[in-house]
Structures are given as C-alpha cells and as structure tokens.
Chain A
Amino acid sequence: MSAIKIYVPRDAAARSLGADGTAEAILTEAARYGISVQLIRNGSRGMLWLEPLVEVETAAGRVAYGPVNAADVPGLFKANFTSGNAHPLAHGLTSEMPYLKNQERLTFARAGITDPVSLSDYLQHDGFRGLRAALKMSPADIVAAVTDSGLRGRGGAAFPAGIKWKTVLGAAGPQKYIVCNADEGDSGTFSDRMIMEGDPFVLIEGMTIAGIATGATHGYIYLRCEYPDAHKALNEAIASAYSEGYLGADIQDSGKRFDLEVRLGAGAYICGEETALLESLEGKRGQVRFKPPLPALQGLFGQPTVINNVITLASVPIILDKGAEHYRTFGMGRSRGTLPLQLAGNIKHGGLVEKAFGLTLREVLYDIGGGSLSGRPIRAVQVGGPLGAYLPESQFDTPLDYEAFAGIKAMLGHGGIVVFDDSVDMAAQARYAMEFCTVESCGKCTPCRIGSTRGVEVIDRMVSGDNPVKQEVVLRDLCETMVHGSLCAMGGLTPYPVISALNHFPEDFRTRKTNALNA
C-alpha cells in the first residue's frame, strides 16, 4: 500500500496556532499505528479560523479536518481519519466547503493545494505556462495583454499596471529594474504573505514576465522583516528556480536574462510607499521622493523601474496563460478581475476570500464572514488598512469596486477588511490613526510630521470636554491641511479614518457628561 498523503500547512498563521506540533503528532501516531504517511507542508487554504487545517487524500478527494491541535491527533487516528472517516472535526471534501467553493480563485488558484516550494508541483498545476506564452511574444504584445486585462495595482492605488509597464518599456536606460513591493504593512491585510508562503513561484513567474516585457534584467522583492516565514519560502523557491533554469542568464533556453533577490525592510510602514521603498532599497532612510520624475523613468538607482505590489505581479501569469479576455470577464465597471479579500479583526470566519469585484460589503461580512467573532453586532468596518475610512452599517451595501469606494470617500486599498463590534470606541480609533501617523511619518512633510501630533492632542481635548465645538473645527481644518499638504498617502489619507469616525460616530467624541445631558 502506498503512503497516505496528509497535508498540514506551513503557513505562518497555521503555525501560529500550533501546526508544527500537529504535524509532529501525526508522524508519531502514524508510526505507532504502523501507517505509512507522506506528510506534505502545503500553503494555507485561507480558512484561517479552522487552522491548523489538516487534509487527508482519499479516493474521492482531499478531506478536511480542523482545527486540529496536537492533542486531537490520537483521537483522529482512533477514528481512522487516514481513510477520511467521520469525526467531529471533519468538514468533508475541502473543495466542497462553501467558503472555498464559492470563491473565484485566479491568483490564489494553487495556494493551499500544492507544496509551495516544490517546483514539480508548481509545473503539474499549470505553473510557468504564463512565462512560456510570454517567451513567444514580443515585449509590446505582453504589455498589451496586461493592459487589455484591465489589471490595476493591487497595492491600493489601483493604477493600471499595463500603463506603468508601457512607460518602462519605452524608457531608455542601461539597466532597468522590476521591484516587487512586499512591504505589506496595512493592518488587516495578509494576502501578500499568504501567496509568498503558499505559492512563491507564481510571484517569481510574474516578475520574470514583467522583466521580459520591459527589458529589465534584475528584480528585487522588498519584503518586510516581520515575515520570516515568507522570507524562507521565497528564498527556497528562488534557489530552485535558479537551479532549474527559470531564473538566471538564459531562461529556458530563450537567451533572456532575469535575476531575482529578496531584500528585507526594517519595520518602517512608510516603505510601503513606492518612492520611500526605492530609497530604502538604495540603503537610505525611507523618505518619500517628489514625483515627477516617475519611478518608471527614474526609479531604483535612477533607472527605469517597474514597481508593483505582490498580488499585481502574481496575477500576471494567469493573464498570460489564459488570455486578457478571460481575466477581464471577472469584475465590474473599471475594476476588472478578482481581488483577494482579507477578512480580519472581530470576524467569525476570518481568512482569505478571492472573488471578482462587485460583491457588497454586507455579503462579505455576513454571508461569507458569518458576522462578528464575539457574536455582538458589527458596528464599524475599516477597509483598506490604517489609512482607510471607517464605514458604518449604513454603508455596508457599497459594492467592492474602486470607484464605488472612492465615491463614499473610502478606499478599497489592498482589500483588507477589519471588523469591529459594538464595544469599539471610535474616538479612540481616530486617535490611534493620528498616533500611528506620528510613529510612522517619514518626516518630510510638515502637515504629516507635526499635524499628526497636533491631531492626537486635539482629539484628547475633544473627548475630555475642553471646548469640543471649537476643537472639532480645528480637527477638521487640520485634516484638510494634511490631505492637501502631504506628498504621499501617509499624511494625505490619515484624515480618512479620523474624519469618517467623526462623521459617522460623533457620539463617541462627546464626553460622558455631554452624552448624559443629551440622553
């Protein structure tokens, strides 16, 4: 009898709840029962509330059990779970679980299914088909395919990727670069981490295609240092891509060169801003640059540079493989394709959900997310990271679409959705937004550097009842100055969470005394 395949994720989130101990316990019990087991450390399926999620391969398909702690393992063996038998922790076939079944996984097609660092697994699951197609095309045709797909920057700014690539293709320079922004600092986002840990080859493939399309021969992945697991997975995958000729001087005998390395950030949120990131890669303080010149013309070391987010680059292979038209068919309006959403915070079914644009926030929160984790009513939702607006229940019917969110002075950003129940104090959240800006401002623009400190003080005075009507005028004026007087999104968008909290939850900004008077 051949060995039974058992999957235990190596994803950091699964490991944060003891997946390593679960894997060890499975091997121990298997030895005790004399069962031959092949343990595969896959990526996460994205159903994070069920982690560690263990899967057993059966004739019918993979059967899921979760959450499985090391202490549950002896019981699972007793129930003969290696044959996919019933157990209180069993969820049936993984692919039939509604959370997964209703998703439209393009970018995350392989995540959780394969062994992330196995190149042969990657090839067996349609890997490098996009690169093969690209190697037969002219650079201009590759750029046209990306443009036609409607792919927009998934980092948050939603700038059309094809236009950026076209500028770099047309720019002259002795050395062009592809830079991947893997400084995923927004709270509530983890899709970059999950794809880098769960399918690192797809990012390597996307960056290689970008290199071939624009004439860039060197790539850097700027990875935040808070992601040690992703660092490991990327380095393992890059090493095997080099040894199999998918990176290096002569990619698959095409005569094309592309080199790739990972560089670590050092805990500065601002380095997620593209020009600050380039400064940091050059070995400097991560201070924002003036634009123009655009990074596409004068980027890293002054050379033409494509700088894209992880998910943007990881979405390129499937566009080249299945065609721009296929990708375009997903989505709504000018938001084409899919967006990997991340359900986070106080949510029952937190995890990664890749869907075409156009779902409403309400569908995501209740139909997919199952409501709050605490069971209390959801009061506010922050979409798009620490610079995103707080949305009240009355805005939950907004469709997830870049323009629809811009229309309500919010932003979709990187697709992170952080849920708060009714115990949240929105004045405290507004204060935190300002405080975060004091900690993370690069210091270049005065409204951001000093305005954020003043913002904390004004909010403190407001909630302590010190002339609150006047303080509100000052706060709104300060926010206006920050929006218009900052070079980048740090100072320019910090007012979004502050003003949205103030507009939608004004009662939280009043002191207890005035609230009692109004009651």
Chain B
Amino acid sequence: MSTSPKRVIPIKVERASTLSPADQASVGAICERLKTLPGALLPILHEVQGALGYVPDDAIPLIASALNVTRAEVHGVVTFYHYFRTHKPGRHVLQLCRAEACQAVGGAALEAHAKRSLGIDFHGTTADGAITLEPVYCLGNCALGPAALLDDQLQGRVTCDRFDALVAAARKGV
C-alpha cells in the first residue's frame, strides 16, 4: 500500500530585527539597568524613547523578554500612551496645545496655521525631517496661551508670527 504524500507544514522564519546593533545594545542596557524596579515598564519606555527618539517595534521583544511579559502586553502599553511613538520623529518635536484655555485665545487658528504652514497634519513630520507636529492636551501655561512645547522648552503667547519664528529658528539650529 502506497503512503499518502507527506504534508509539509511551512515554518515561518521570523524576520531579522531591523534595529542596528548599537540600538539593540542601548535597549538591552536600559532594560538590564531598570528591570528590577517595581513597575519598570514605563521608566524603560521613557528611557528607550529618550535614547532612540521613539520606541521601535523591534525593541518590543527585547523589553518583553527582559521583563518576562508577553510582547502583546508591552505593545498594549506603548500604544495606550499618547507620548510614546513607534516611528522616528523629526529633529524637533513641536507639541501644540489643543485644550480649552488655549482655544479661548485663538488656539484653533494657530493649529490651522501650523498645519498649513508646515504642510503636515498632527503626528506628521515635515519633508525636510526638521519638525514633527503633535497635539497635546494642556501644557500648564493656560494664562499665557496659546502654548506650545518645542522639544523641552515651553512657549507662551504663540501667535502665528511667533510660531513661524520658532520653526525658522529650530530649522536653522540643527
């Protein structure tokens, strides 16, 4: 009696990490240093984003394995929080406040001007890679709105002209 043809179950080879060896080492060192902290995941994600500018998808397996949790759990946390991003940002991150106190002094007009003049929507990066525009809900500068946070520097009374000047200075800086 002839045997039926063998069924072949294809084995999917996991694609190689796209992280550079230097970035892998950097994520590994951060995990090693912080993994014993109680509630270590957020501090680790902050440090990874601080070092790399974002939390790459390929960093997630490294973090999950260091904390002995599933990748899904890490992915769930990364995507829950607005601050963590999974794509490389521009050289400068400009966060524009959308909240009520800034709306009361022309926040919506500034938002429209920002998107038009940069040619991008929120979460986008300008073609020259200089500016990533992000929405933010309150920067605590509510008496001096409209407010923005350019990298780590808070800005107040951001008129359209001041916005243009800030962007021009940032582009010139780096």
Chain A residues at the B interface, C-beta cutoff of 8 Å = 12-13, 15-17, 48-49, 51, 184-190, 192-193, 225-229, 263-269, 280-286, 301, 342-347, 350-351, 373-374, 382, 386, 416, 418-421, 424, 429, 432, 436, 439-440, 442
Contacts and interface: CB of A to CB of B under 8 A. Distances in A.
B39 A283 contact: yes
A266 B100 CA distance: 20
B81 A268 contact: yes
B40 A345 contact: no
Interface in B99-123: 99-105
B141 A283 contact: no
A424 B142 CA distance: 17
Nearest to B134: A267
A189 B140 contact: yes
A424 B104 contact: yes
Contacts of A283: 39-42, 67, 77
B88 to A, nearest CB: 18
Contacts of B145: 344-345
B144 A48 contact: yes
B31 interface: no
A315 B155 CA distance: 29
Interface stretch (B8-16, B20-28, B124-132, B146-154): B146-154
A226 B139 contact: yes
Given A187-B100, A266-B81, A386-B100, A17 B139 contact: no
A269 B41 contact: no
B104 A343 contact: no
Given A12-B141, A48-B144, A268-B81, A187 B46 contact: no
B105 A269 contact: no
B136 interface: yes
A435 B99 CA distance: 11
A171 B137 CA distance: 37
B160 interface: no
Interface in B17-67: 38-43, 45-46, 67
A281 B80 contact: no
A226 B100 contact: no
A226 B149 contact: yes
Nearest to A424: B104
A51 B100 contact: no
A190 B140 contact: yes
A83 to B, nearest CB: 30
26 contacts: A13-B156, A16-B156, A17-B156, A48-B143, A48-B144, A185-B138, A188-B99, A188-B100, A189-B140, A225-B83, A263-B39, A266-B82, A266-B83, A266-B84, A267-B81, A281-B39, A282-B38, A283-B39, A286-B80, A286-B81, A342-B143, A345-B101, A386-B99, A419-B104, A440-B137, A442-B80
B5 interface: no
A442 B77 CA distance: 12
Contacts of B144: 13, 16-17, 48-49, 51, 350
B76 interface: yes
Given A226-B149, A284-B77, A187 B143 contact: no
B2 to A, nearest CB: 56
B91 interface: no
Given A13-B144, A284-B77, A301-B38, A436 B137 contact: yes
B71 interface: no
A216 B104 CA distance: 43
Given A16-B141, A283-B41, 17 more contacts: A16-B144, A51-B144, A187-B138, A188-B99, A227-B140, A228-B152, A263-B42, A266-B82, A266-B83, A266-B84, A283-B42, A283-B77, A284-B77, A344-B142, A345-B100, A346-B105, A418-B142
* Interface magnitude class on chain B: 35 or more
B42 A345 contact: no
A49 B99 CA distance: 19
Nearest to B37: A283
Contacts of A439: 137
Contacts of A301: 38-39
A373 B147 CA distance: 16
Contacts of B77: 283-285
Given A16-B147, A301-B38, A345 B105 contact: yes
Contact of A420 (B104, B137, B140): B104
Contacts of A419: 104
Contacts of A267: 81-83, 136
A382 B38 CA distance: 39
A282 B38 CA distance: 7
B137 A418 contact: no
A443 B20 CA distance: 35
A185 B101 CA distance: 12
Give me the 4 closest cross-chain CB pairs, A-B, nearest first. A350-B143, A187-B99, A283-B41, A344-B142
B142 A187 contact: yes
A49 to B, nearest CB: 7
B19 to A, nearest CB: 21
B104 A185 contact: no
B157 A17 contact: yes
Contact of B141 (A190, A192, A285, A347): A190
Contacts of B143: 13, 48-49, 190, 342-345, 347, 350-351
B142 A345 contact: yes
A418 B157 contact: no
B99 A189 contact: no
Contacts of A424: 104
A100 B93 CA distance: 37
Contacts of A225: 46, 83
A397 B52 CA distance: 53
A188 B107 CA distance: 13
Contacts of B38: 282, 301
B156 A382 contact: no
A51 B154 CA distance: 14
B104 A432 contact: no
Among A17, A267, A282, A351, chain B packs the most CB atoms within 10 A around the CB of: A267
A364 to B, nearest CB: 13
Nearest to B73: A284
Given A228-B152, A285-B80, A286-B80, A187 B137 contact: yes
